[in-house]
Amino acid sequence: MLSIDGAFRKFKSRLELNAKEQDNASARQKEIREYIETKFKIDRSFLTGSYARWTKTKPLKDVDIFFVLKNSEKHYRDKSPAVILDDFHAALIEKYGTDKARCQNRSINVDFGVRADGDDNTDYRVISLDVVPAFDAGDDFEIPDDALGKWIKTNPQTHATKAVEAQRAFSNEWKGLVRMVKYWNNNGRHGDRPVKPSFLLEVMCMQCLHAPWGGSFERELQGLFSTLADRIHETWPDPAGLGPPISDGMDTARKRRAEQLLREAGRDIDAILHLGRRGQNGDALKAWRAFFGTKFPLS
């Protein structure tokens, strides 16, 4: 029978991006870039966010792609953020249709019509991309934020560097644990995701996963969920020190709900660990699968 540690290592592997998925995401980026360049003057574009940090979980969706506009498009910077978002949205509707392009606070979500099967597989295809208009701002970037009604600074490279540092400090297990927690957050058991945006979970894990790695996925997750519940009401700044706090995406009611669900998750983990202590390995594997979702292996 598969050991608990062996199951977690297989689970971690299943959540990692593979070459086929990267190739498909790259092809979709190229497709959108070639089209967007017919509508706007683009200096460069690149895949970023949790995809680039290797903290993206399955199924692969909402992959961030930055479109850095040339200085000749700088007139947008003097206007409301809604203007550039509306123009990008209109352009993407022309290509993908009104049901596939959706305007968000900082990006346009493009849905490619790919659906995950019962095992969260998508035949290695990306479900959607988030198109983010941006301008260079020294070593940083400025992006529109329609909710705040202003342009905000960000730096994906700083976020990536901090993730690399956390991974190194945690014996290269940090990113795997982050993907697991995000998968729990996305698995649909609770309807809407308990923690939004999912980047908030990653930011919290930079402090709530305490190095060094203790050697047990179960024990690390037990402590992590407890700490996340304790600290969900705190203010969590942008790791780059540029934009608004990441925790601003959740109001008090959402934080209370998240705390409740995180505490329930902690109690579920306690019960699963009890099964393991009693030697009920098979039952423990089934309980972990019920906890996380279909990607957690039973054999």
Q: What is the DSSP string of 92-131?
A: HHHHH-TTTEEE-SS-EEEE-S----TTS--TT---EEEE
Burial of 124 (0-12, 13-18, 19+ CB in 10 A): middle
* Domain ranges within the chain, ordered by starting residue: 4-12+158-292, 17-154
pLDDT of 191: 80
CATH class for the region spanning 17-154: alpha beta
Per the CB < 8 A criterion, the answer to whether 291 and 184 are in contact is yes
Q: How far is CA 252 from CA 88, 255, 296, in A?
A: 32, 5, 32
Reported as a single tens digit per residue, the pLDDT across 185-225 is: 998 777 889 999 999 999 999 999 988 999 999 999 999 99
Residue, of 189 and 21, whose pLDDT is higher: 21
Q: What is the mean pLDDT of residues 9-14?
A: 97
How far from chain centre, in Å, is Cα 74?
29
Q: Is the pTM of this model over 0.75?
A: yes
Reported as a single tens digit per residue, the pLDDT across 270-281 is: 999 999 999 999
Listed in sequence order, the residues at least 6 apart from 263 whose beta carbon sits closer than 8 Å to its beta carbon are 225, 226, 229
Reported as a single tens digit per residue, the pLDDT across 101-129 is: 999 999 999 999 999 998 999 999 999 99
How sure is the predictor about 1, in pLDDT bands with cuts at 50, 70 and 90? confident
